Amino acid sequence: MNNTNYRQYIPKKVIRREKYLQKSLHFIDKNIIKFFLGQRRIGKSYMLFQVIRHIEKTVKNPNIVYINKELPDFRNIKNDEDLISFLKTKLITGKNYLFIDEVQEIENFENGLRALIAKHKWDIWCTGSNASLLSGDIAGLLSGRSIEIPVYALNYGEFLLFNRLKTGTASLNKYLRYGGLPFLRHLELNDQIVFEYLKGIYATILFKDIVARENIRNTRFVENLLLFAADNTGSVVSAKSISDFLKSQKINMAPVRVIEYLKYLTNAFFLLKVSRADIQGKRIFEFGEKYYFEDLGLRNVICGFKQKDINKIIENAVFLHLNYCGYKIYTGSLGAKKIDFVCKKNSIKKYLQVAYIIGDDKVYEREFGNLKAIKDNYPKFVITMDALKWDNDNGIEHYKLEDFLLSDF
């Protein structure tokens, strides 16, 4: 008899995230482990639910087993041996599907998954909240047997759908202020309620996914480092800027150690790193990266939603949309000129500059002029929050921010 216990854990209504779902469907019934990876509370569990719903509709009598390591019902599954033992009683003759939420909470999970996939009896789907989940020895054990499907916060179009909002300045301001965590759809979108919720998510990621996982003792320094990242969103992070920050905090720590802490933050998907590229020489610099927040709301919880930061916030929003669209993203250098984003996908390359508004000729020349200095024929764009859409200049296209965030680009 097929297992139906999983149904008690799955909500009756699930809003489909079509982009991720369509990518996932190609791997159903393929003997490869599927990992949905992303920041906590980003909606990875709901991707499992969407795949389950699809299998229910398309597969005759599927045997579905669901394990969520955040629920007390599954606390006895502590390691790979417990997992194998648990599944022995669940296997049937027919099609078997295994879904594990927060698989990194199972000690030596990679050994268990490797043993399961070798027997070709389970179609395995997992979620994880750490980018290093498949690094090092684990990647070696599962080499050729797994695929990662990154899941990000809601993009602006999804934010409108989830929160039943119409396009317009008011909705765009809510997105820039509160970010794209899916659970916001259950809350009244005002500062008191939303930021209280976001503070709880911030604390969970900080203490569970960073401090506990990496065995960090200096919690205060991690919080200060996040504040530094929020204040410097979209700025090139150099050894000097880190050193100056440390001095201001009266902290004696080697910059190389700070870089290690930044790695912890990116592993938890709290921050996303962008490397710097020399446009003319096509080199990728080893130092001088930019960092952006995976969720705008969490960034604003840390340092507030301030007028002086509007350039940083909309640059972060543009980065998130490029990431959602599947581009490999760099920040560009052309001599002394800086290009906010150089993005590549397959044979496509695009250049983007981001500004709040084109308020005067100086700003216009900085944004459009930097792009004009690039002597190739790849598409170039300037994105701002201007109320009007400006005409193309030498082939450089102007996008209003909301139009850009709603585009497929």
Q: What is the gyration radius of the CA atoms in the chain, in angstroms? A: 23
Q: What angle do CA 198, 202, 203 make, to 5 degrees?
A: 120
Q: Give the pLDDT of residue 152.
A: 95
3-state secondary structure of 352: strand
Tokens of 360: 């005067």
| pLDDT tens figures, 155-171 | 999 999 999 999 999 99
Q: Give the pLDDT of residue 287.
A: 62
89-106 as b/e: b if 16+ CB within 10 A: ebbeeebbbbbbbbbbbb
48-87 as b/e: b if 16+ CB within 10 A: bbbbbeebeeebeebbbbbbbbeeeebeebeebeebeeeb
Q: Are 321 and 405 in contact (CB under 8 A)?
A: yes
Q: pLDDT under 50 in the chain at which residues?
A: 1
Q: How far apart are CA 89 and CA 357, in angstroms?
A: 62
Q: Which residue has the tokens 């820039």?
A: 176
* List of domains in the chain: 5-150 (3.40.50.300), 217-405 (no CATH)
Q: How far is CA 69 from CA 8, 50, 120, 159, 349, in A?
A: 15, 19, 24, 28, 41
| pLDDT tens figures, 253-282 | 777 788 889 999 999 999 999 998 877 656
Q: Give the pLDDT of residue 1.
A: 46
Q: How far apart are CA 184 and CA 171, in angstroms?
A: 13
Tokens of 395: 């082939």
Cα 13–chain centre separation: 24
Q: Give the pLDDT of residue 218.
A: 86
Q: How far apart are CA 265 and CA 275, in angstroms?
A: 16
Q: Are 130 and 378 in contact (CB under 8 A)?
A: no
φ, ψ for residue 304, nearest 5 deg: 90, 165
